[in-house]
Structure 1
């Protein structure tokens, strides 16, 4: 190698090597959270009781980490199938979080001219997976009330004939469940165009409705969930259910050993103690209702209905209120940049009773400060 080649500026090398669209992208941003009350990422705030922590630690210590994952992953799939009462004729596919499943779906469906469609605002990984796979993403705006625009969705499906249509159920970041009759029409329209519908039920532990029980009734419908909101965000485990023949085809693009044996064992342990996680979810649902009541009574705050472990609020100056919360030690998510319809919107994660009380006090003070400056 000549010295001139070796000393070539990195910018020149990147220009010649990396895709232009990748260079123009922004990486998925994770806010630094050290020192804050962390209510920005829809995590379950509860840890396991000490006795279960000790039991889990001993169990993980016995795992054969010198071997590739094998039969224990199959045991996990069987335990998950039992946990969700998987319909007959369906099977499961595991992913390193839902993010990997979303990426693998784009990879599996990358036929010439394929498109991915989803309501917007929605989960950013739907559009990102399309871009990274070289597919066109079609975003269909929600109504002003963050409901599905039935006419616009059906028109977009007919025009674009998407390979994949995502329905986040509940939606992120708006936290609401969409109208059932509209969804039925979308499922039928996508089926008539030979596409797939993927229900993303990441927030199922906090939701009053699910499509899991109906997944076997259609040969083009998949339901995706994650154990992150269940209480295991740190182990990165997602799963997708659907007709066995369809899952078998998509599973062909999954990397071998994509789920570690430690993650599988931790997930099995959690499912064996599902009652503890159900207890935690019940507390969070009750706290969500308490938060909603307090937010609805707070001057200068518009709160939106929620079926998740987050609440979307709109204030007069989202950036200033976000900064005010940080100054008071509370970290939430400013989602205004995700879509124009989210102007001045903040997303609040439901935390422990103590965290929620701190957040409410900080929010009230920050909003009041903004209102005083504007008056």
Structure 2
């Protein structure tokens, strides 16, 4: 009772030793460590049809994302949707793909974020903390990284879904996958999850500074800033009590107050509608066209719900939504990149990690 199976541990680790007072023939085990596991949405392994199909099948089969009854949804998904959508999504990914590293920008940026966070934690806590990342969909899987951390001697794991605002379809499903991975561990590490940080002062400051830098580089102030958040079906909020909409609105309000603006200079919209039912409104793609038609010919768009640039920002916002604005008569479209590995964003993430490690370090 109470001992890990030696086969699951990295007994060849440089710091592996026999436990104190153990028999001489006891297997060596790594010294106890704390794991910090960052989680983002995910990315296909490549842009070809089958890579896209595998990724989209896993993503769109998640009951947190599409909650239709399986008997009704799976025939539609596996038949109609996944016969067509992988081609369209693959073409979109090709326009933003990091060809040098042969990976999506989300993967590249996540690696940069992990490296910066690891450096910050090591400077303060030494080698006691291991930092790694996983994806909810695609690779590297949550399960594979939990197994790795446990094998390396992590008896405590802090799991951090990289979503500033909580939603069942993002934060909750990431946590679900983490908990499922723990179910397969005979000796489960003590575990914590990081809550949403939509109103964290350093996060809001990082957003504000990114807007100020972008406006300064453009040499003028656009007529309005659109804060575009990933959408959700309205039903999820009305029936399930999801706090996402309120948290998005608060992030925008805090950003507006920090910038010293009034309500005419900033607004909240939602993007990435999927399926026939009503989603949170206004829809970004429609709102940018309305802004152009009402005379706001210069707009900026930022994406506060995304911790890293991805297909929804680099392709959907900076290509599809931009095209909608220009088609309606808009002239100047400024996309403000996500916070990515910006030093102040890393500081905000480190602050969340350190607060949630309280009592462990």
TM-score for the superposition, normalised by structure 1:
0.27
TM-score by length of 2: 0.28
